[in-house]
Amino acid sequence: MLKKIQRAVRAMLPASGEEALPEPLILSRDEHSISRRQISKHALTILYDLNKAGHEAYLVGGCIRDLLLGGHPKDFDVATDATPEQVLALFRRARIVGRRFRIVHVRFGREIIEVTTFRASHDDAGSDGRQTDEGMLLRDNVFGSLREDALRRDFTVNALYYTVDEFRVLDYTGGLQDLQARTLRIIGDPEQRYREDPVRMLRAIRFAAKLDFSIEAKTAAPMQALSEQLGQVAPARLFDEVLKLFLGGHGARVFELLQQYQLFAPLFPATAGALAAGDERGQRLIECALANTDQRIANDKPVTPAFLYASLIWPAYTAAQAIAERDGLPAWQARQRAGQIAIEQQQQSVSIPKRFSIPAREIWNLQHNLQVAKGKRAESLLGHPRFRAAYDFMLMREQAGETIERGSDFWTELQKHHPVPEYRDTKDAPRPRRRRRGGARRKPEAQ
């Protein structure tokens, strides 16, 4: 299949691959590897039904990218020229979601297919395509043509379309060539596209890590200078993005790339500050935590946002604790204060729902208890709902090179006689909320 794409691409694409194509490159059914069997039957139903009602309809985005790469898409997204209302009228279990980026969710049992009306760019946008003075999109409801829809997507490899009309793949932006070269390239002017939506910088990191793609030079160039733009994005949206970044199975690589492109600091300013001040142990702890998390995901084991956040903010917490002790607070009070400050500071950039910040603080608090509890108190600590998470956290600190007096060995031994089940909070672990695309959302509006 790749050979065929290569041939087709060579024949039809301009050499640079950077210019948007006036005409799409089209791969016919036998020139690509996507087979209908790999596609959700519900997504196909939607394509056929929309076509039958006289509309254009395509599968687009991650599903086509992943299928062409030989992977398994996690969901299927549809783009169409039908308006949300027209889509609503066609499908029984459909509802419009989002205000600033209106899309239709069509539900089939447990599967939800997102149906999005073609968007256009905002150069002459009216009230449905508002931007801030800095060029950030507040709304993205200007409908357009298929070609316009392709051009407003983020990366070329995310702008490939599949149609059941002769089962063709359409490429307006050079995405097939970039897929071949394993390159992530933003569509259009990188700086403008990041200003419109700074989350695109995080998406670049996420896809580069997940797909093991390199980020094309011009796509990467403005990131460092624009990293502060992430401060304009609503903390609630960043919470979703952070989970996608670190709980997607490639967290260790994501962390490396975020640091490389100076994008970690705007997300975790206090931790980044502590690391920059020389907290090498903190750096290693985060690396270990993410490597463990990646391993667990690879083994289909549950992972917990609370544990993730406890690790990512730990350097900020220990720094705050040191300051509080220097200020003369007794040790227990310093720990309390540090926990509170570390979470409060963090919330200003990335919000953390209480159901995760509370257990994260408990994990920190228990680090001390684990060092001192003896006899009956030690046994009763085994029954603490966060014991196992705190114990795992202690193991990780040791794995990261810390020597802890009365460390995990004591508890490993004790658990031989009193086994404690693994810590799970899967029931309240959120599925990252379905994305909102286009602009930064709540924050600018609230200003």
Q: Which residues pair with 212 in a beta bridge?
A: none
Binder among 159, 176, 303, 313 for ligand ATP (CB under 6 A): 159
Taking residues 404 to 443 in sequence order and writing x for each that binds ligand ATP by CB under 6 A, - otherwise, the string is -------------------------------x-x------
CA geometry: angle at 347 spanning 343 and 351, to 5°?
A: 120
The interface region with ligand ATP, picked from 7-15, 154-162, 336-344, 408-416 by CB under 6 A, is 154-162
Q: Which secondary structure element, helix H or strand E, spans residue 10, and what is its range?
A: helix 2-12
Decide whether 170 or 363 has the Cβ nearer to Mg ion.
170
Pick from ligand ATP, Mg ion, none: which does 208 bind, CB < 5 to 8 A by kind? Answer: none
Catalytic residue positions, numbered: 75, 77, 154
Binder among 8, 39, 199, 220 for ligand ATP (CB under 6 A): 199
Pick from Mg ion, ligand ATP, none: which does 279 bind, CB < 5 to 8 A by kind? Answer: none
DSSP 194-209: HHH-THHHHHHHHHHH
Looking at residue 46, its amino acid is: I
Q: Under the criterion CB under 5 A, does residue 174 sit at the interface with Mg ion?
A: no
Q: Under the criterion CB under 5 A, does residue 62 sit at the interface with Mg ion?
A: yes
Q: Is 137 helix (H, G, I), strand (E, B) or coil?
A: strand
Decide whether 210 or 397 has the Cβ nearer to ligand ATP.
210
Residues 6+ apart with CB under 8 A from 111: 40, 42, 75
CB 118 within 8 A of CB 146: yes
Task: Return the percent helix, strand and coil in the chain, to nearest 5.
Answer: 55, 10, 35
Q: Under the criterion CB under 6 A, does residue 232 sit at the interface with ligand ATP?
A: no
Q: Under the criterion CB under 5 A, does residue 248 sit at the interface with Mg ion?
A: no
Q: Under the criterion CB under 6 A, does residue 149 sit at the interface with ligand ATP?
A: no
Pick from ligand ATP, Mg ion, none: which does 200 bind, CB < 5 to 8 A by kind? Answer: ligand ATP
Residue nearest ligand ATP, Cβ-based: 62
Q: Under the criterion CB under 6 A, does residue 77 sit at the interface with ligand ATP?
A: yes
Burial of 71 (0-12, 13-18, 19+ CB in 10 A): middle
User: What whole-number distance in Å separates Cα of residue 150 and Cα of residue 200?
Assistant: 15
Sites of contact with ligand ATP (CB under 6 A): 61-62, 74, 77, 153-154, 158-159, 197, 199-200, 435, 437
